């Protein structure tokens, strides 16, 4: 029935009492709790399999077998092996050492098995205090190795499992000293790398306990696998930590070791070392400037030119980009026009831009945009290279984030810095890029919701409107629906963009526009 005085839009008042919302919230909470419990139960049931024979315990470890190992059996075995280990530690008689090592080996074997290693079961059974005890100074290498290996596997678990390693950290670091055997030191580095990978909090703990020095020292010799593990652990350790990065590069011999391994190491080793370089150049100005003055750039370019391993190319390319962006020494003194290395940098960029992998495309466009921001000579060099046609194609066909980086490169090619502050137009670059068909790509950017991209697009339209010879600009822009794209900003919240777009429309498409056409 229609009520004569109905007010169909009455909404709840802002000032309301707390009661009803609180009751609802409490009930919703009960439902959430129930869902969590249902899920927890389901997870347990899924992991639980019974009725599988357990007498295959002596079968040699095999990856496929491991996945088939049944979880509950595995957990039972883990608990049992912890009991054995404790018995072995308590045992003082003949062959005590061998008993301990055997028990540790069994535990390590269990913890290496299956996609779901029984870490939780081991920790519940009191693994941590026992393992710390097994790391005591003066323990035989074999025992240390097996213990560190167990800890490595535990550290690879869930975050709270990784944290359980806290009491073991000082001893793991201590066993990386010069007197330790290499296999023990490497295994300790591996465990610590897992711990450092867990997060900032644990990284801080490791740094404060002095993990950096011994790991850095392990980088120095030419022992492939040890260096690789140390490099991997170091890159985890200095992630996000500028001070640690600076400290690392200042350690005697580290810079040389990095360059040496990067130049001569196999691809796997070079990959891990390159990641260290990525963090050094991203985090520390000191490191960047030291590396800039070395022949790192040359080495990176060689790697980029010769390798096809995506794992290696990504960190190498990012290091190169960091280097170019981070230190003007490189652009001013190394990457000068006429130097052979400059030509080669552009060649490897072209290689990466033409790659199938979006990460490579994006990283190389970013690195190239930093080169393109340099002197007029740099711009000429890029402009006359094969990069331009690839960039124009990427501007219209690639995913959004790559398009943005590409737009920076192309935009930078058309303007040069000047003393007046207002950039000077490089007309012949502009004409050839527009001729190459880049305008529609920029007009698309103008339509983007991303402010930065839209600004890039507008700036380029401005160049075209102002700079194309014979006043051709407005017609070209109009042909790409540029007017419509700019009119979208009429009510845009960003004032800068709004006024920029409005001024362009007023100036170039005002009342007189089209009269002479």
Partner 1 sequence: MAMEVTQILLSAQSVDSTVRKHAEENLKQFQEQNLPVFLLSLSVELANEEKPADSRKLAGLVLKNALDAKEQHRKYELVQRWLSLDVSVKGQIKACLLQTLSSTASDARSTASQVIAKVAGIELPQKQWPELVGSLLSNVHQVPPHVKQATIETLGYLCEEVAPEAIDQDQVNKILTAVVQGMNANEANIEVRLASTRALYNAIGFAQANFSNDMERDYIMRVVCEATLSPEVKIRQAAYECLVSIGSTYYEKLAPYIQDIFNITSKAVRDDEEPVALQAIEFWSSICDEEIDILDDYGGDFTADSDVPCYYFIKQALSALVPLLLETLLKQEEDQDQDEGAWNLAMAGGTCLGLVARTVGDDIVPLVMPFIEENITKGDWRQREAATYAFGSILEGPSPDKLIPIVNVALGFMLTALTKDPSSHVKDTTAWTLGRIFEFLHGSTLATPIITPANCQQIITVLLQSMKDAPNVAEKACGALYFLAQGYEDVGPTSPLTPYFQEIVQSLLNATHREDAGESRLRTAAYETLNEVVRSSTEETARLVVELVQVIMTELHKTLEAQKLSSDEREKQTELQGLLCGCLQVIIQKLGASDPTKYALLQYSDQIINLLLRVFACRNATVHEEAMLSIGALAYATGPNFAKYMPDFYKYLEMGLQNFEEYQVCAVTVGVVGDICRALEDKVLAYCDGIMTQLLKDLSSNQLHRSVKPPIFSCFGDIALAIGENFEKYLMYAMPMLQSAAELSAHTSSADDEMIEYTNSLRNGILEAYSGIFQGFKNSPKTQLLIPYAPHILQFLDSIYIEKDMDDIVTKTAIGVLGDLADTLGSNAASLIQASVSSKDFLNECLSSDDHLIKEAAEWARLAISRAISV
**Is 13 a binder of partner 1 (CB under 8 A)?**
yes
**Is 264 a binder of partner 1 (CB under 8 A)?**
no
405, 362 Cβ separation under 8 angstroms: yes
Near partner 1 by CB under 8 A, which window of 42-50, 147-155, 208-216, 245-253? 42-50
HSE, CB side, 13 Å, CA atoms: give it for residue 47: 17
**Is 49 a binder of partner 1 (CB under 8 A)?**
yes
Report which DSSP code applies to 175: T
**Is 65 a binder of partner 1 (CB under 8 A)?**
no
Task: In angstroms, give the least distance from the CB of 48 to partner 1.
Answer: 8
Q: Which is nearer to partner 1, 26 or 94 (CB)?
A: 26
Query: Tokens 């260290």 appear where?
Result: 276
Among 225, 243, 400, 499, binds partner 1 (CB under 8 A): 400
How far the first Cα of the chain sits from its last, in Å, is 64
Among 19, 93, 338, 421, binds partner 1 (CB under 8 A): 19
Q: Which is nearer to partner 1, 29 or 243 (CB)?
A: 29
Closest C-alpha among 420, 346, 350, 352 to residue 379: 346
| Measured distance CA(82)–CA(61) in Å, rounded | 19
Near partner 1 by CB under 8 A, which window of 19-27, 129-137, 249-257, 292-300? 19-27
Near partner 1 by CB under 8 A, which window of 55-63, 348-356, 442-450, 474-482? 442-450
HSE, CB side, 13 Å, CA atoms: give it for residue 35: 6
Sign of CA dihedral 417, 421, 427, 430: positive
Query: Tokens 């700036």 appear where?
Result: 459
Helices (H) and strands (E) in the chain, counts: 31, 2
CA distances from 4 to 1, 7, 10 (A): 9, 9, 15
| Measured distance CA(296)–CA(226) in Å, rounded | 22
**Is 42 a binder of partner 1 (CB under 8 A)?**
yes
Please work out the total of residues on this chain that contact partner 1, with binding judged by CB under 8 A.
44
| Measured distance CA(280)–CA(257) in Å, rounded | 14
Among 37, 124, 357, 507, binds partner 1 (CB under 8 A): 37
Site for partner 1 in 341-370 (CB under 8 A): none
**Is 124 a binder of partner 1 (CB under 8 A)?**
no
Near partner 1 by CB under 8 A, which window of 47-55, 296-304, 458-466, 475-483? 47-55
**Is 179 a binder of partner 1 (CB under 8 A)?**
no
Closest C-alpha among 108, 109, 87 to residue 99: 87
Give the binding site for partner 1 (CB under 8 A).
1-2, 5, 7-15, 17-20, 22-23, 26-27, 30-31, 33-34, 37-38, 41-42, 45-46, 49-51, 67-68, 115, 400, 448-450, 488, 491-493
């Amino acid at each position: 029935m229609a009520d004569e005085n109905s007010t169909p839009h009455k909404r709840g008042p802002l000032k309301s009492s707390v009661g009803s919302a609180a009751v609802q919230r409490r009930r919703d909470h009960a439902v959430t709790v129930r869902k969590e419990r249902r899920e927890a139960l389901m997870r347990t049931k899924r992991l639980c399999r019974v009725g599988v024979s357990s007498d295959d315990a002596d079968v040699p470890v095999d990856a496929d077998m491991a996945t088939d190992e049944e979880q509950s059996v595995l957990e039972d075995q883990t608990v049992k092996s912890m009991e054995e280990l404790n018995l072995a530690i308590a045992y003082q008689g003949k062959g005590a050492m061998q008993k301990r090592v055997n028990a540790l080996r069994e535990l390590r074997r269990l913890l290496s098995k299956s996609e779901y290693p029984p870490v939780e079961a081991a920790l519940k059974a009191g693994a941590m205090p026992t393992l710390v005890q097994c790391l005591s100074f003066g323990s035989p290498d074999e025992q240390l190795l097996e213990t560190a290996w167990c800890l490595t596997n535990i550290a690879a678990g869930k975050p709270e499992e990784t944290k359980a390693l806290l009491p073991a950290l000082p001893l793991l670091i201590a066993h990386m000293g010069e007197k330790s055997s290499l296999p023990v030191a490497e295994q300790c580095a591996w465990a610590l790398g897992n711990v450092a990978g867990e997060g900032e909090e644990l990284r801080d703990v490791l740094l404060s306990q002095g993990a950096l020095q011994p790991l850095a020292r392990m980088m120095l010799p030419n022992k492939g696998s040890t260096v690789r593990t140390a490099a991997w652990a170091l890159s985890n350790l200095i992630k996000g930590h500028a001070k640690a990065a600076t400290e690392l590069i200042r350690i005697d011999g580290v810079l040389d070791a990095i360059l040496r391994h990067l130049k001569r190491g196999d691809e796997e080793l070079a990959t891990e070392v390159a990641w260290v370089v990525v963090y050094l150049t991203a985090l520390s100005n000191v490191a960047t400037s030291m590396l800039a003055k070395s022949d790192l750039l040359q080495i990176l370019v060689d790697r980029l030119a010769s390798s096809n391993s995506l794992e290696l190319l990504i960190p190498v390319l990012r290091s190169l980009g960091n280097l170019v962006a981070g230190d003007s020494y490189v652009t001013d003194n190394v990457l000068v026009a006429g130097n052979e290395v400059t030509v080669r940098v552009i060649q490897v960029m072209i290689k990466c831009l033409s790659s199938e992998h979006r990460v490579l495309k994006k990283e190389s466009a970013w690195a190239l945009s930093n080169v393109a921001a340099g002197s007029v000579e740099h711009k000429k060099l890029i402009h006359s290279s094969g990069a331009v046609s690839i960039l124009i194609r990427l501007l219209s066909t690639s995913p959004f984030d790559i398009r943005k980086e590409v737009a920076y490169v192309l935009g930078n090619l058309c303007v040069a810095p000047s003393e007046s502050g207002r950039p000077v137009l490089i007309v012949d670059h502009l004409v050839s890029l527009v001729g190459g068909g880049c305008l529609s790509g920029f007009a698309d950017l103008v339509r983007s919701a991303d402010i930065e991209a839209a600004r890039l697009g507008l700036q380029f339209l401005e160049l075209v409107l102002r700079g194309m010879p014979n006043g051709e600009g407005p017609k070209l822009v109009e042909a790409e629906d540029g007017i419509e794209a700019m009119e979208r900003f009429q009510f845009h919240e960003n004032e800068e963009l709004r006024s920029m777009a409005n001024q362009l429309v007023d100036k170039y498409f005002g009342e007189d526009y089209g009269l002479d056409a």
